[in-house]
Amino acid sequence: MVLISILGNFHSSIFPIYNEFKDKITTHIVVHDDAFSEQLKDKKIIHALKKFNAKHHLQIITQEHKLDEDSFKSIYTLIETIKSLNEPLGDVYINTTDGLSNISTVLASKLLSQGVNFIAYDMYENSYNLTTQESMKNFKLSTSLSIQDHLELKSFQVTFKGDLSFAHKHEEKIFKLFNNYAHEMELLNKDITKQSKQHQAQYKNAATLVREMGLDANRNAPEITGGLFEYYVYLLVKDLGFDDIAVGVVIEQPIKGKINVSNEFDILLMKDNHLHMIECKFRKNLSRAELVYKYAALINVIDDDAMIMILTNHKEYSRNIYDEKDMSLASHRRAFLNNIALRGSILHHKQDFLDDVRTLFL
């Protein structure tokens, strides 16, 4: 099988199809426009695909084809390249998903009649249409990218992931900690953050559970003040049917050379090649407006169509953003417009939270 991928604006839309057919592909031709503004981004995609092949021990030949989308002559050179392949044209599949429309139109007009197949992936349905001269059929994808593969194909380096085996091993203690002693946990976190023992007498139960999990306030401060609540949320959602879940993921996003930007995501959830996120804030008095601005800027880093849920420690779980008389809803409305669900504490609203997860992410 020869797969030809045409890169458009949302490059990650080619990855699910590539992953679906990775065990059948012999040659992969990556087609992109010759615009200078696109070339660096396209090279990153090609480099990431080659790393993916090496990681999964795939013997796929990766080729690059650069053309001018506004030139029929330039597009025709791709047609000639396809015709010259040492493969039956019935084994050639062109992935036009989010590809440059002019290129796809010309290719289809010249190649459908010669037996070439055309693929169009629908990211919202996680399915693709396979079009030939004679028919068009729809297929559901049978595979889903792992979270790590998804991020690496976007040219990010995953430098850290939380230990889910820790959460499974201590599931009973983690549930007990937040279901029964959440207030003690707040005081414990406050003392750890301030390197104080001011409230020590008030969180004996929480401290005992933390010690029983092998955590020390000095050596494991971040795991206690943030990580345990992330594991608690993970344990609530782990059996809902996601294809992959990761906790405490740190990525490095390259800029140039050794210059990178680091980002951390509390919980990442993959379902049908859609990657989403839950941000877990157990501390009080955090600015909801700042959180919304931060994740509105990061949402496209996660995926082209990501949804984010931000959990805070505010007593009220959800707000009616359509209440015209409530003047305090600016952050909630801004979040809504940026595909972000801004929520309060889940400790007494677990069912509301689980219903939200199913509605937004599944």
Residue 121 and residue 125: Cα distance in Å, rounded?
Answer: 9
- Cα–Cα nearest to 7, from 69, 91, 70: 69
Residue 150 lies in a domain: no
In a domain, 153, yes or no: no
Q: Are residues 123 and 77 in the same domain?
A: yes
Query: CA 142 to CA 34: how far, in whole Å?
Result: 34
Q: What is the CA radius of gyration of the chain?
A: 24
Name the residue with tokens 């201590």. Answer: 170
Owner of token pair 């008095």: 285
Assess whether 264 and 119 both reside in one domain.
no
Q: Single out the residue in 78, 111, 143 at which a domain terminates.
A: 143
Asked whether residue 12 is assigned to any structural domain, the reply reads: yes
One domain for residues 177 and 99: no
- DSSP label of 12: G
Q: What span, in angstroms and rounded, lies between the C-alpha atoms of 230 and 224?
A: 10
Whether residue 163 is found in the same domain as residue 187: yes
Q: Is residue 218 situated within a structural domain?
A: yes
Q: What is the pLDDT of residue 284?
A: 80
Task: Say if residue 117 is in the same domain as residue 192.
Answer: no
Same domain, 136 and 170: no
32 and 102 both lie in a single domain: yes
Could you tell me if 279 and 332 lie in one domain? Answer: yes
Q: Are 5 and 63 in contact (CB under 8 A)?
A: no
Cβ–Cβ < 8 Å for 181, 188: no
Distance CA 281, CA 355 (A): 19
Q: For the whole prediction, is pTM greater than 0.75?
A: yes
Enclosing domain of residue 239: 158-361
Question: pLDDT 10s digit of each residue in the chain, 362 long?
Answer: 999 999 987 777 899 999 999 999 999 999 999 887 777 788 889 999 999 999 999 999 999 999 999 999 999 999 999 999 988 999 999 999 988 888 999 999 999 999 999 999 998 899 999 999 999 999 999 999 999 999 999 999 999 999 999 999 999 999 999 999 999 999 999 999 999 999 999 999 999 999 999 999 999 999 999 999 999 999 999 999 999 999 999 999 988 888 999 999 999 999 999 999 999 999 888 899 999 999 999 999 999 889 999 999 999 999 999 999 998 999 999 999 999 999 999 999 999 999 999 999 99
Is the domain of 118 the same as that of 174? Answer: no
Q: Residue 258: its pLDDT value, please? A: 87
Shared-domain flag, residues 164 and 295: yes
DSSP assignments along 162-175, one per residue: --HHHHHHTHHHHH
Q: How far apart are CA 205 and CA 52, in angstroms?
A: 47
Q: Is 178 left (phi over 0), alpha (psi -120 to 50) or beta?
A: alpha
Tell me if 303 is assigned to some domain.
yes
Hey, what are 354's tokens?
Answer: 């689980």
Distance CA 60, CA 5 (A): 14
The CATH number assigned to the domain holding 93 equals: 3.40.50.10770
pLDDT of residue 38: 78
- Which pLDDT belongs to residue 142? 96
**What does the H/E/C string look like for 187-223?**
HHHHHHHHCCCCCHHHCHHHHHHHHHCCCCCCCCHHH
45 part of a folded domain: yes
What is the count of structural domains for the chain?
Answer: 2
